[in-house]
């Protein structure tokens, strides 16, 4: 057993990314770090600074030796606890993994945190008996206190004193402790533990995007979102640039993916950030998720000069009434203005659209597709609305469908279109999006994107064209048979 209270975080990472996945997020190289959780990096950094130790192992679910790999890590590290950070749609797969691990290591307690268990604490402990503890809300101090109590011998009375914790007592009753108060000054958070993602077998590759978070919370209330609303705080711009500089010096990281609810925290914040970045001349590139109407032309020109190559913007719907219903607090005119400027400046953009919002019908979906085409982002990502626990829209899901994420069922519809219709519409819209002359001219042939990003766009185009044509061919029985045969021969 190690001296310090120690946790080993585990995660399932699907390695089978297709080219359009990384093209979607605007990287020239496979976005191999995309699925790793920022939460793990920040939690481990925090506990290390407070007398504990943390490690991280991930496996590909298709790897037949995956569980052996985890077991070997457990035998080597001898952690006091195993940790998971999970969204709702990850619970099912990860719980299957937990069953396998518990069969081999029954005495190591398992703690799960993240937005899912925060939204459904009692449900999680009642329905997933192999999960011993849950961390509700912000986890830094909860995890630290939990590990220290565990190492000291545990006991329900001691666990009851830890805010933001859920567990079953000696009689099997679920106990949820008082809410964990958020960390007021998040400038006190240490640098993320990037070393968990980098070792000699896995050095930072050219164009690996490393996650970085500059703020906690969110002050918007989009109805489809299960994020923590309220308690918005940010790290001072100088501290963020310090972190970037240290990450570059220590690990050679030069591409950052901002994982804030939205970036930048404010215009004043961004101007200070740009001033400091400019002075230090760090030569980094970065990408971020933002809201339309936030940044003006001159802001964007400056950001491009400082290394911004990709921006992702959630538009979600093309119909003004739907935008109101989902409380997006943007207008189509603002979206148009933002994308016109971005296309003119030559920043690779992703526009996010959802189909199946409350009030949606075939006409409103068609309007979204039309608006997406007009905005003409480098990528338009259409997804079928997933009503996850913790979001306002989850209340609209019928009781009998509420556990869709648990049983592996299709995403339930909260509008007049059926789930199958929505899946079909989203897939078709996503595939067909780049197959237009206006898009091709803007993002591949001419336009203002840097050459490397035109290449990304070209790859994205080819993948979509191939998939689209295959889809059409598969509708004809003769070609369907032929494709099946070719796939069989190719072992796919």
Give the residue carrying structure tokens 């009642």: 126
Quote the CA–CA distance of 291 and 309 in Å, as a whole number. 16
Stretch that binds ligand SF4, among 6-14, 58-66, 219-227, 377-385 (CB under 6 A): 219-227
Closest CA to 319 of 281, 285, 357, 292: 357
Residue 208: contacted member of ligand SF4, ligand B12, none (CB under 5 to 8 Å, by partner type): none
Q: Closer to ligand B12 at the Cβ: 317 or 444?
A: 317
Give the residue carrying structure tokens 């979509």: 464
- Helix extents (H) in 258-397: 267-280, 297-305, 320-325, 332-345, 362-375
> What is the contact mask toward ligand SF4 in residues 257 to 296, using x (rule: CB under 6 A)?
----xx----------------------------------
Please select the residue that binds ligand B12; options are 23, 39, 303, 375, rule is CB under 6 A: 39
Residue 220: contacted member of ligand SF4, ligand B12, none (CB under 5 to 8 Å, by partner type): ligand SF4
Smallest separation (angstroms) from ligand B12 to the CB of 483: 27
Smallest separation (angstroms) from ligand B12 to the CB of 412: 14
Smallest separation (angstroms) from ligand SF4 to the CB of 289: 8
- Please write down the long-range contacts of 120-125, taking CB distance under 8 Å and 24 or more positions apart: 120/389, 120/390, 121/166, 121/176, 122/166, 122/174, 122/176, 124/166, 125/166, 125/167, 125/168, 125/174
**Residue 71 burial class via C-beta count within 10 angstroms: exposed 0-12, middle 13-18, buried 19 and up:** middle
Please select the residue that binds ligand B12; options are 115, 291, 309, 432, rule is CB under 6 A: 115
Residue of minimal Cβ distance to ligand SF4: 225
Q: Closer to ligand SF4 at the Cβ: 87 or 108?
A: 87
Tokens of 369: 């597709």
Contact 309, 348 (CB under 8 A): yes
Q: Closer to ligand B12 at the Cβ: 39 or 417?
A: 39
**Residue 426 burial class via C-beta count within 10 angstroms: exposed 0-12, middle 13-18, buried 19 and up:** buried
Q: Closer to ligand B12 at the Cβ: 135 or 412?
A: 135
Partners of 348 in the β-ladder: 310
Stretch that binds ligand B12, among 64-72, 140-148, 233-241, 473-481 (CB under 6 A): 140-148
Residue 144: contacted member of ligand B12, ligand SF4, none (CB under 5 to 8 Å, by partner type): none
> What residues between 291 and 330 interact with ligand B12 by CB under 6 A?
none
Q: CA-CA distances (angstroms) from residue 211 to 43, 89, 155, 452?
A: 14, 21, 36, 22
Q: Closer to ligand SF4 at the Cβ: 261 or 413?
A: 261
Partners of 285 in the β-ladder: 255
Closest CA to 25 of 290, 349, 291: 349
Smallest separation (angstroms) from ligand B12 to the CB of 347: 18
CA atoms within 13 A on the CB side of 298: 2
Smallest separation (angstroms) from ligand B12 to the CB of 232: 10
Strand residues in 51-144 grouped as ranges (E): 53-59, 81-85, 110-113, 133-135
Please select the residue that binds ligand B12; options are 218, 306, 325, 396, rule is CB under 6 A: 218
- Is 85 a binding residue for ligand B12 by CB under 6 A? The answer is yes
Q: Closer to ligand B12 at the Cβ: 40 or 276?
A: 40
- Is 218 a binding residue for ligand SF4 by CB under 6 A? The answer is yes
Residue 393: contacted member of ligand SF4, ligand B12, none (CB under 5 to 8 Å, by partner type): none
Smallest separation (angstroms) from ligand B12 to the CB of 159: 13
Strands 215-218 and 230-234, bridge-based pairing: antiparallel
Please select the residue that binds ligand B12; options are 28, 148, 243, 259, rule is CB under 6 A: 259
Smallest separation (angstroms) from ligand B12 to the CB of 366: 22
Residue 68's contacts (CB-CB under 8 Å, 6 or more residues apart) are none
Please select the residue that binds ligand B12; options are 83, 237, 387, 434, rule is CB under 6 A: 83
- Is 241 a binding residue for ligand SF4 by CB under 6 A? The answer is no
- The SS3 call for residue 257 is strand
- Is 118 a binding residue for ligand SF4 by CB under 6 A? The answer is no
Residue 5: contacted member of ligand B12, ligand SF4, none (CB under 5 to 8 Å, by partner type): none
With contacts defined by CB under 6 A, how many residues of the chain interact with ligand SF4? 8
- Is 226 a binding residue for ligand B12 by CB under 6 A? The answer is yes
User: Distance between alpha carbon 368 and the CA centroid of its chain, in Å?
Assistant: 23
Quote the CA–CA distance of 6 and 1 in Å, as a whole number. 9
Tokens of 50: 């407070």
- Is 386 a binding residue for ligand B12 by CB under 6 A? The answer is yes
Q: Which residues bind ligand B12 (CB under 6 A)?
A: 34-35, 37-39, 42-43, 83, 85, 87-90, 111-116, 119, 135, 138-140, 142-143, 213, 218, 224-227, 259, 261, 383, 386, 388-391
Q: Which residues bind ligand SF4 (CB under 6 A)?
A: 218, 220-222, 225, 227, 261-262
């Amino acid at each position: 057993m190690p001296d310090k209270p120690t946790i080993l975080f585990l995660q399932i990472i699907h390695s089978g990314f297709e080219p359009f996945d990384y093209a979607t997020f605007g990287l020239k190289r496979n976005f191999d770090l995309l699925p790793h959780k920022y939460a793990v990096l920040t939690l481990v950094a925090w506990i290390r600074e407070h007398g504990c130790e943390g490690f991280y192992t991930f496996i590909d679910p298709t790897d037949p030796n995956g569980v052996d790999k985890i077991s070997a890590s457990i035998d080597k590290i001898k952690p006091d606890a195993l940790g998971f950070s999970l969204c709702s749609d990850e619970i099912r797969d990860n719980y299957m993994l937990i069953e396998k691990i518990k069969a081999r290591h029954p005495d190591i307690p398992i703690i799960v945190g993240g937005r899912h268990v925060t939204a459904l604490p009692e449900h999680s402990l009642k329905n997933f008996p192999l999960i011993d503890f849950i961390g509700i809300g912000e986890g830094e101090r909860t995890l630290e206190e939990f590990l220290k109590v565990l190492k000291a011998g545990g006991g329900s009375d001691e666990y009851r004193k830890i805010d933001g914790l859920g567990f079953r007592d000696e009689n099997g009753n679920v106990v949820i402790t008082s809410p964990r108060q958020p960390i007021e000054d998040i400038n006190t958070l240490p640098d993320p533990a990037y070393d968990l993602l980098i070792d000699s077998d896995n050095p930072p590759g050219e164009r690996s995007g490393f996650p970085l978070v500059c703020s906690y919370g969110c002050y918007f209330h989009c109805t489809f979102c299960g994020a923590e609303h309220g308690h918005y705080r940010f790290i001072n711009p100088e501290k963020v640039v310090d972190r970037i500089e240290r990450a570059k010096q220590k690990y050679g990281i030069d591409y950052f993916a901002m994982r804030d609810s939205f970036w930048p925290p404010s215009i004043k914040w961004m101007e200070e950030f740009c001033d400091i970045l400019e002075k230090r001349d760090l030569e980094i590139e970065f990408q971020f998720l933002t809201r339309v109407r936030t940044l003006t032309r001159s802001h964007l020109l400056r950001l491009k000069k400082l290394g911004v190559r990709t921006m992702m913007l959630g538009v979600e719907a093309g119909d003004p009434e739907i935008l109101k219903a989902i409380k997006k607090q943007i207008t189509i005119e603002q979206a148009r203005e933002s994308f016109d400027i971005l296309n003119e400046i030559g920043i690779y953009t992703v526009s996010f659209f959802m189909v199946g919002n409350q009030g949606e019908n075939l006409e409103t979906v068609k309007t979204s597709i039309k608006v997406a085409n007009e905005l003409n982002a480098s990528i338009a990502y259409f997804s079928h609305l997933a009503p996850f626990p913790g979001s306002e829209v989850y209340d609209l899901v019928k009781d009998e469908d509420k556990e869709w994420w648990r049983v592996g069922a299709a995403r339930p519809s909260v509008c007049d279109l059926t789930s199958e219709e929505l899946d079909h519409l989203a897939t078709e819209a996503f595939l067909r999006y780049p197959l237009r002359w206006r898009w091709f001219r803007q993002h591949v042939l001419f336009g203002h994107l840097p050459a490397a990003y035109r290449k990304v766009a070209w790859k994205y185009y080819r993948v979509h064209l191939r998939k689209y044509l295959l889809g059409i061919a598969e509708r004809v029985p003769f070609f369907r048979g032929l494709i099946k045969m070719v796939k069989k021969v190719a072992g796919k």
